[in-house]
Chain A
Amino acid sequence: MTKEAARYFVSRLVTTVLVVFGAMLLLFSLTTIVPGDPATALLGPQATPEYARRFIEDMGLDQPTYIRLAKFFGNVVTGDLGIDVISGRSVSAMVWSVLPSTLILTFSAIGLAVLLGVPLGIFAATHRGSVVDHVLAFTSVAFIAVPSFVVAIFLLLIFSIWLDWLPVLGAGREGDFWDQARRSILPIVSLSLAWIGFIARLVRTSMLEVLGENYIRTSRAYGLSERLVTYKYALKNACIPTIAVLGVGVGRLLGPAVLVEIVFARPGIGRLVYDAVTSRNYPVVQGAVLVVVIVFVVINLIVDLSYSAIDPRIRRGTTSQSQAK
């Protein structure tokens, strides 16, 4: 690793740690700025006085803010996200048990989006101005614009209720891979649709940009086949912006995933947070949201670093993309 690469690595790492600390501070301060008595606010008006008092003692809410903050940071660093106020279970255990399901959902959605979006984008770029190109351009915007949970509702109506092709709700029986896979199809498709459109457009734009470069003209002048020029020389460089976006993509999908999990009644981190919000169980919300943020930030970090390894211009900050960041 060169000195320059090392410096970039360290500065990205420091920013990531600062951002995670910032997120923790934000989640923590939400509990302190809540209007009124924290116990009533967090437990709801139904809580009995004894329960509220026990809750305050258990959560350490009677201690000064800075001590609670220090405790919160200390606990998180050792992997302790607190205790569920209702069931008394450890929040970390609850999050760990549902996190894989959500991650599989979002990664599959991104995978599907790449699988369909990249070929569509290449096709549109190599057939620029054709009818198919125009149709693709319009459908891409439509896919991007329509909220995922609306797509989810329509897919559910059409494929599960009217056509009765796919099972409606739930994640499937434990250990039955085919059942689980069948029940994952609609959630994955509804999440990925927006990103199919997004990636198709991105690939089309960067392909057109790359195809106009001098080295492509030179390869053509050398008599290389169009296929070789497109797929070997152009695609490689056209993919770089797409890779950069994928990291953001997994994180951006975690939001819509909450809604899609609820539409399809699947267990997952979205379902966990939603149930915790409706039962006013803030420690679970706090822990689960923090894990979502950490996953998002770490994926971004990995993508940024691998991206800068592929394209050294990034860490020198000489491209427009890195300046915009």
Chain B
Amino acid sequence: MNALREALVVLRRVCVTFAGGTGFIIVLAVLAFALFAPWIAPQDPDRLDVLHRFAGPSAEHWLGSDQLGRDLFSRIVFGASVAMAVALTAIAIALSTGTLLGVLAAFLPPRSERLILILFDVILSFPNLVLALAIVAVFGPSTTIVVAVAAITLAPNFGRVARAQTLTLRNAPFLEAERILGASGWRIVVHHVLPNILGPLIVLASMDIPIVITIEAGLSFLGLGVRPPLASWGVLIQDGYQFLSDSWIPVVVSSLTLAIATLGFTLFGESLRDAVDPRIGRER
């Protein structure tokens, strides 16, 4: 209950600023599209209507139709669920593994700690899309690989923050007291360390959402991520770009959707960071 009230206070602080408010509205819209896609979309996103390909915007097709006559607006709505499913799964995995490794690094002897840090450095030495290409080259393109790639490239960031936060806590008097009372290492981590380092990690997670959306869209645009006919925004942009000479509407509409969504999540994430603690994540 208390946590909920605190969250509402933070949310209000985010929404009073212009940037935060705009971001929040966009985030809500994308989430609504993602959750209620079958009810919001006016048509079946996969229904072909080859006679009316590249139709302009009309009452029937709000944003026109694509190269196979599929309704573009419906495909964009369903694209939101692909983007959100990929982003939230990848971030959940990155957050948990990264935090686990980061907290572990803080409590382990220096030699093992250094090993974990070098693992983080190795992953971060690949530009994320380049690592993605190397992995796709071996396993072939699929939605699962997109999620895995995004999770792997983002986990080190969570790990570093978790480690730094844990280090500041490690010798805190209340943990010392717990230890003297005989609490197990596990209990200390779960009940005392995690709740105290979670704030910055959640802010980082919200700031990573646009990054995952971009990775997914970029890979799908290259034809190396989410596979057609699944309506990912990257797939829509790729379709539109290939048929640019027939109509400019599909590529413009789908790229604008992606741009607005990433902008919205960035604005929201940054306002959230400023509302919680202005010092986190400034270097990125």
Contacts and interface: CB of A to CB of B under 8 A. Distances in A.
Given A15-B118, A147-B259, A324-B164, A273 B133 contact: yes
* A18, A150, A274, A278: most-surrounded residue (chain B CB, <10 A): A150
B39 to A, nearest CB: 28
Interface in B243-269: 244, 248, 251-252, 255, 258-259, 262-263, 265-267
Contacts of A147: 214, 217-218, 258-259, 262
B255 to A, nearest CB: 5
A259 B218 contact: yes
A313 to B, nearest CB: 16
B177 interface: no
A19 interface: yes
Interface string B224-257: 1000000000000100010010001001100100
Contact of A19 (B122, B131, B138, B255): B122
Contacts of A150: 237, 255, 258-259
Given A34-B138, A141-B19, A153-B237, A277 B133 contact: yes
B273 interface: no
Contacts of B267: 141, 145
Contact of B137 (A154, A259, A277): A277
A285 B262 contact: no
Contacts of B19: 137-138, 141
A19 B118 contact: yes
Interface in A304-325: 321, 323-324
B263 A146 contact: yes
Interface residues of B, number: 48
A254 interface: yes
Interface stretch (A1-9, A87-95, A290-298): A290-298
Query: What does DSSP make chain B's interface, helix, strand, loop or mixed?
Result: helix
A74 interface: no
A280 B137 contact: yes
Nearest to B269: A145
A227 to B, nearest CB: 29
Contact of A254 (B130, B224, B244, B265): B130
Interface string A239-258: 00000010000011111101
Interface in A12-44: 15, 18-20, 22-23, 26-27, 30-31, 34-35, 41-42
Contact of B222 (A19, A31, A262): A262
A195 interface: no
Query: What does DSSP make chain A's interface, helix, strand, loop or mixed?
Result: helix
A144 interface: yes
Given A153-B251, A251-B127, A296-B125, A282 B133 contact: no
A223 to B, nearest CB: 34
A89 to B, nearest CB: 18
Interface of B: 18-19, 118-119, 121-123, 125-131, 133-139, 160, 164, 210, 214, 217-218, 221-224, 237, 241, 244, 248, 251-252, 255, 258-259, 262-263, 265-267, 270, 282-283
17 contacts: A26-B123, A30-B135, A31-B138, A42-B138, A138-B18, A141-B263, A149-B218, A157-B244, A161-B244, A205-B282, A254-B127, A258-B130, A273-B133, A285-B133, A285-B134, A289-B126, A293-B126
